[in-house]
Amino acid sequence: MSPVAPSSVETTEALFDKVVDVNLKGPFRLTALVGSRMAAAGGGSIINVSSVGAQRPSPWIAPYAAAKADLNAMSTALSQEWSRSGVRVNVLSQGPFLTDVSMLWADDDRMKARVGLGRFAEPEEVVSTALYLATATFTNITVDGGPAVHEPS
């Protein structure tokens, strides 16, 4: 959930709380419960899905970007907590990638200009990264085509 708000002042407390609940509190509770069971069983792999917004936030997604940045920090902490129990906690930070939903903006040159490679990621790139992360020990991999060299005008 990443609703756009016209400004920080216009972001209601209810909207802020909902964004944090969905993007941080929910993953925290689920990771804690599943991770503790994996640790008791001798191991496992957790992949939390974050966003490039946590690394390169925009003003209109500030609560979402903050929640995803906190998700990254939380994943690091839980990885350290359970690594000796055989539980791996990793993060996949994705940017725009081509799905049925994205077809509306897939040909938007202004949006493509914000991506270093000038194209959006393909679903296969996200899937192959997730498969790699299932075997890795804490890391955060970004799949987004790279940061833009310059901001579009």
| pLDDT tens profile 51-61 | 988 988 888 88
Q: Is residue 102 part of a domain?
A: yes
Q: Is residue 152 part of a domain?
A: no
Which residue range is the domain that position 57 belongs to? 13-143
Q: Is residue 132 part of a domain?
A: yes
Q: Is residue 3 part of a domain?
A: no
Q: Is residue 1 part of a domain?
A: no
Q: Burial code of 58-92, b = ≥16 C-beta within 10 A, e = fewer?
A: eebbbbbbbbbbbbbebbeebbeebeeeebbbbbb
**Lookup result for tokens 């202004």:** 110
Would you please indicate which residues are annotated as catalytic (active-site) residues? 64
Say how many domains are in the chain.
Answer: 1
Q: Is residue 6 part of a domain?
A: no
Q: Is residue 138 part of a domain?
A: yes
Mean predicted confidence (pLDDT) in 88-97: 88
CATH code at position 133: 3.40.50.720
Taking the whole predicted model, whether its pTM rises above 0.85 is answered as no
Q: Is residue 4 part of a domain?
A: no
Is the pLDDT reported for residue 70 higher than 80? yes
